Amino acid sequence: MKFKMQDKQNQLIERISDKHLVVRVDIAQQLHVARAVNFRGIVVVDPLAFENNEDGFAGLLKWMDKPSKI
């Protein structure tokens, strides 16, 4: 039996619980946009636009810590 990629993705999705924060990032050449959702897919904070550099990624890490305090 061949293991399908969709089966693997479904297994990973099933492991997401109410303790997880899912961060989706739309990448671009200069400016990226991140969005944080809870385990149900509900947006928990406003999206973040950040630059493709060290300061931008440091800001992303700081931003990702914010939803856990809500």
DSSP helix/strand/coil, 39: coil
- Which has the higher per-residue pLDDT, 54 or 40? 54
Q: What local confidence, expressed as pLDDT, does residue 15 receive? A: 87
Q: What local confidence, expressed as pLDDT, does residue 70 receive? A: 47
38 pLDDT more than 80: yes
The DSSP call for residue 43 is: B
Which ranges constitute the DSSP H helices of the chain? 5-14, 54-65
DSSP helix/strand/coil, 30: coil
Place 34 in a pLDDT band, splitting at 50, 70 and 90.
very high
Averaged confidence pLDDT in the chain: 86
- Which has the higher per-residue pLDDT, 33 or 22? 33
